[in-house]
């Protein structure tokens, strides 16, 4: 879990990086940018908003040989050790970005390298480094009084409500490649930002395993439980799975299967499915891990507990406790109509 509200900008360096294939060049500021309180407030909202709105998917810096050869990792590490070198190191970051900007689709833009203090990560205050890039320019109107008339002037600038690209490096887990968050609103060049420039791979922590295991369960429910049983059992299985994660601090696969799979015949199916599909979710060799509550909450919000019927009726089973669904919703077969039915029990209708 992270919190960015108390973060402070300690230094900000600003450069412009073009596209090498278009001969756009690079502009490196000679001095760091002076940030006043008004600009600091606007910039923090510009930098941080996408991270607050996005799932917590952590990455880490990675190099096939050794992290000491990773240019961004080395620059960030040196900056965190000696913040007085921040501006000099920001030029190295800008040059590395320019060297990677060699595809015609990559847009030129402004690069911000920021040293932050008071980032809250897992209830601990740490400093960190932010690397952000603004690319897309938008038209906006300016107004100017000229004599007795008000004139309109069209200018171009960036939309401070939408960051194009950014990453936040928390001063945590340095030996493993730091704990890093990344955002990219432009999908067409994601590899350039995440892999070519930043050199990031997923950080396989409790958040990673919790999220991926639950995604795997969703696929198992759709591919195995639904065809073997029905939509109600698919929904109930995922409810039981999420509730199991929510009430436990640690995950242990055998306990999970015994508690969550009502039909024992599906347990070997689950194990076989894990052998087949587990590598896709990076859980093929994982049977125990610490559970991340935030990942469980994020998954619960995404689960669609809805049964769509071909008679244009929807049944939404919004149960915290999956046993309630079995108690209040029954499925049956009507011989006379030759149709399935759901029997729903309730005390009174809720007012909308």
The pTM assigned to this predicted structure is: 0.80
Residues 44 and 142 in one domain: yes
Domain boundary among 181, 203, 225: 203
Same domain, 186 and 216: no
Number of domains in the chain: 2
Token look-up 């209830």 returns 123
Q: With 60 as the cut, is the pLDDT of residue 319 above it? A: no
Same-domain status, 80 and 115: yes
Please check whether residue 350 lies inside any domain of the structure: no
Residues 181-205 have pLDDT tens digits of 999 987 767 788 999 999 999 999 9
Q: Which regions of the chain does DSSP assign to beta strands (E)?
A: 2-3, 8-17, 26-28, 59-61, 109-121, 124-134, 138-146, 149-157, 165-170, 179-184, 200-202, 250-252, 288-290, 306-308, 314-316, 329-334, 339-344
The confidence score (pLDDT) of residue 8 equals 95
Q: Answer with the one of 203, 228, 243 that is the final residue of a domain.
A: 203
The domain of 300 spans 207-344
In this prediction, residue 265 carries a pLDDT of 87
pLDDT for res 321: 60
Average pLDDT over residues 284-301: 89
Same domain, 211 and 199: no
Question: How large a percentage of the chain has pLDDT more than 90?
Answer: 60
188 and 77 in a single domain? The answer is yes
pLDDT in tens, 339-352: 888 888 888 877 76
């Amino acid at each position: 879990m992270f919190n960015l509200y108390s973060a402070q900008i300690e230094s900000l360096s600003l450069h412009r990086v073009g596209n090498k294939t278009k001969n756009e060049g690079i502009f490196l500021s000679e001095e760091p940018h002076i940030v006043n309180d008004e600009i600091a407030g606007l910039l923090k909202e510009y930098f941080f908003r996408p991270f607050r709105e996005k799932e917590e998917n952590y990455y880490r810096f990675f190099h096939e040989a050794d992290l000491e050869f990773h240019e961004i990792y080395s620059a960030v590490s040196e900056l965190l050790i000696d913040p007085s070198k921040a501006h000099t190191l920001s030029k190295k970051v800008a040059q590395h970005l320019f060297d990677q900007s060699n595809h015609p689709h990559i847009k030129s833009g402004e690069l911000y390298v920021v040293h932050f203090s008071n980032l809250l990560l897992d209830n601990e205050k740490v400093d960190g480094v932010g690397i952000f890039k603004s690319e897309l320019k938008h038209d906006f109107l300016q107004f100017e009084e000229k004599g007795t008339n008000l004139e309109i002037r069209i200018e171009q600038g960036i939309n401070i409500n939408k960051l194009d690209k950014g990453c936040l490096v928390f001063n945590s887990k340095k030996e493993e490649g730091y704990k890093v968050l990344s955002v990219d609103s432009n999908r067409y060049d994601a590899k350039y930002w995440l892999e070519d420039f930043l050199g990031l791979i997923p950080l396989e922590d409790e958040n990673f395993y919790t999220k991926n295991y639950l995604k795997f369960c969703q696929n198992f429910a759709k591919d195995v439980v639904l065809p073997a049983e029905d939509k109600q059992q698919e929904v109930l299985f995922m409810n039981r799975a999420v509730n199991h994660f929510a009430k436990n601090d640690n995950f242990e696969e055998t306990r999970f299967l015994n508690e969550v799979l009502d039909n024992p015949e599906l347990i070997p199916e689950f194990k076989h499915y894990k052998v087949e599909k587990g590598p896709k979710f990076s859980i093929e060799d994982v049977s125990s891990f610490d559970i991340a509550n935030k990942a469980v909450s994020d998954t619960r919000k995404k689960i669609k507990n809805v049964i769509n019927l071909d008679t244009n009726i929807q049944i939404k089973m919004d149960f915290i406790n999956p046993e309630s669904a079995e108690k209040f919703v029954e499925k049956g077969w009507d011989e006379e109509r030759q149709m399935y039915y759901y029997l729903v029990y309730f005390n009174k209708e809720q007012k909308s």
